[in-house]
Amino acid sequence: MSFEQELNKVAYGRIEPAGIRAVADRLAAMAPRFTAPVREGLAPLLGGRALEDIARGMQRALDPARQREEARRLNDLGPDAEPTSAQLAEAAEYLLLEATSPLASNPDLRNRLLALDRLY
């Protein structure tokens, strides 16, 4: 599936781990190649965040250990308690929605990233 298709899924809140991983990996690969003027042009769209940080946040949200930790936090479970599969699913969805929100809520950023993807 193309970067544009995966980014559109993120925009509509579709939580598909493979697609989110693909977007995160693409962003992580693109960001280091950007020149200073490109980064300056992206800055207002990123709201003070670095693109690399958004990509890392998405990658962290996919981590099963992080999802387990969040399930424990959301459900007030002790550190040794094992969350149920429903609790893990809820935590994963929460983390992934939160991690993708900078992209999902900003069509201008998505469009700029798509344009840059074609250039880089």
- For 20-73, what is each residue's pLDDT tens digit? 999 999 999 999 999 999 999 999 999 999 999 999 999 999 999 999 999 999
What is the identity of the amino acid at 47? G
Phi and psi based region of residue 49 (left: phi greater than 0; alpha: psi -120 to 50; beta: remaining):
beta
Interval 93-97 mean pLDDT = 97
Contact between 64 and 29 (Cβ < 8 Å):
no
- Return the percentage of the chain with pLDDT > 90, whole number: 95
State the pLDDT confidence band at 119, using cuts at 50, 70 and 90: confident
Q: Is 81 helix (H, G, I), strand (E, B) or coil?
A: coil
Say what the pTM is.
Answer: 0.90
Tokens linked to 73: 């936090």
Closest CA to 47 of 105, 118, 115: 105
User: What's the pLDDT score for residue 106?
Assistant: 97
18, 42, 70, 118 from 78: Cα distances, Å: 30, 41, 11, 47
Sorting pLDDT into bands at 50, 70 and 90, what band is 120?
Answer: confident
Average pLDDT, integer, range 84-93: 97
pLDDT for the residue numbered 36: 94
**Per-position b or e across 87-98, b if 16+ CB within 10 A of its CB:** bbebbbebbbee
**Predicted pLDDT at 3:** 95
Rounded Cα distance, 6 and 34, in Å? 21
